[in-house]
Structure 1
C-alpha cells in the first residue's frame, strides 16, 4: 500500500483502489503533483479491512478487480455508512455499469485512457462534495445538540411553528394559553439560536430525520 502525506491534517486525500500497480503509481504521481494526498489499495477487500482516514476526500475505484468488483465495493461501503464520494475509473466500463454506478451515487464514471485534467476535475468535484457533506454534518450535529436542550413542550411548539401554525392555533392544539405559547416559543427560539422563523426552519431541516 502506498501512502503520500503532506503533513496537513485536513488536506484532501484520494483513496485509490486498482489492481494494476502501474495505474496506481501514475495516479498517485498526478494527484500528489496538485497537492492531493493518496492512499492506495490493490483490492476492495483491503479497503474494507483498513481504517480509512477521517479527512475530506474521495475514492477512485476500478470496476473489474479480483474478488470484489468496484460496484460491489460501492454497495458494501454504503451499507457500512461510509459516504465518501466515488469516482469510477475503468478500462472495462459500459453504459449499464455507468448507469448503475451513478444511480448508486457515484460522482463520475470515467473510462481509460482519460485526460489528466478530466480526471483531476472529477476528483476535485468529488472532494468538494465531501467537504460540503462534512460541513452539513457538523451543522446537523450542532443543531441536534441545541434541540436536546429543549423541554418536551418546547419541542412540541417547535414542530408546530415550523409547520406554519400561529400562536392561537398552537395554543388550541396543545390546550394551553397563547401567553404560555409565547413564553415557550421565545425560550425555544433562544435555545435554538434562531434569529428568525426562516432561520429556525433551516435549523429544523438540518436535523436528522429521526429527530424531525
Structure 2
C-alpha cells in the first residue's frame, strides 16, 4: 500500500536511515528536523500517508505537534517513535488519537506493520467522511416540507401522525415520504434512521 511517510526527528542520521528503509519498502518519504518544519510544510492529509514523530525534539515537542495538528483538523495518522518511552506520555498520546507508540530501535517489520495499520485506518476514516458528505449533499436537495417529513420519519412518526403535525393529508405525506426516500437514495426506514444518526441529527432527548 503506497503512501507518503512524514518523518519528524532531530537526529540527522536517524532520519536518513529511516528514509532509506521506508523507500526500500516502496514508500515516498519527506523528512523534517523539527515539528515546526512539518507545520510550515502543511502536509496534505487527503493523500495516503502518516507521520512518524519523535517524542522529544527541540522546540515544539512531539505531543505538542500532535495537539496542533488535531486542532487544525489534520487527519494524518501519527505514529510516535521514541528512545525513552514513559507510560504517562504514551497514554496521553494514544488518548489524543496516536495510531501507535514505538520504541527505538525499531525493526523494519514492526515499523512497516505500524505504517500499514495507520494507512488502513486513514483510508477507512476518509471513506467514512466521504459517505457523510454524500449524505449531506442528498439532504440539501430536500425541500423545506420534505425535510420536515424526514425529521419526523426518523423519529418514528407514522404517516398519520406526520399529517396531523404538519396540518396536511396522509396522501400528501406519502408523496413527500416517497420523494425523501428517492432523494436520499435509500430503500428502507432503517437506512434513513442510520443516516440521521451518522449525521448527528438524533440525540437522546428525541422521543
Q: TM-score, normalised by structure 1?
A: 0.88
1:96 is the counterpart of 2:92: no
Distance in 2 between residues matched to 1:159 and 1:86, nearest whole Å: 38
Q: Deviation at 1:19?
A: 0.8
Q: Deviation at 1:210?
A: 7.8
Cα RMSD of the aligned pairs, angstroms, is: 2.0
| Aligned twin of 2:76 | 84
Where 2:181 maps in the other structure, the secondary structure is helix
Mean Cα displacement is larger for which, 156-165 or 14-23? 156-165
| Aligned twin of 2:137 | 145
| Aligned twin of 2:173 | 181
Size of the aligned set, in residue pairs, is 202
Q: Deviation at 1:50?
A: 0.9
Distance in 1 between residues matched to 2:76 and 2:101, nearest whole Å: 15
Whether the aligned pair in 2 keeps the contact of 1:14 and 1:59 (CA below 8 Å) is yes
1:12 is the counterpart of 2:3: yes
Residues 28-107 of structure 1 mapped to structure 2, 5 A cutoff: 28-53=19-44, 54-107=46-99
Q: Deviation at 1:51?
A: 3.0
Where 1:59 maps in the other structure, the secondary structure is strand
CA 1:19/1:210 → structure 2, altered by over 3 Å: closer, same or farther? farther
1:114 is the counterpart of 2:106: yes
| Aligned twin of 1:4 | none
Where 2:182 maps in the other structure, the secondary structure is helix
Whether the aligned pair in 2 keeps the contact of 1:143 and 1:206 (CA below 8 Å) is no
Q: Deviation at 1:124?
A: 0.7
**1:103-150 Cα shifts (integer Å, max 9, x gaps):** 101111111112221111111111111111111112222221111110
1:204 is the counterpart of 2:186: no
Whether the aligned pair in 1 keeps the contact of 2:5 and 2:52 (CA below 8 Å) is yes
Q: Which runs of 5+ in 1 are unaligned?
A: 1-9
Q: TM-score, normalised by structure 2?
A: 0.90
Q: Deviation at 1:65?
A: 0.3
Whether the aligned pair in 1 keeps the contact of 2:196 and 2:202 (CA below 8 Å) is no
Where 1:150 maps in the other structure, the secondary structure is coil
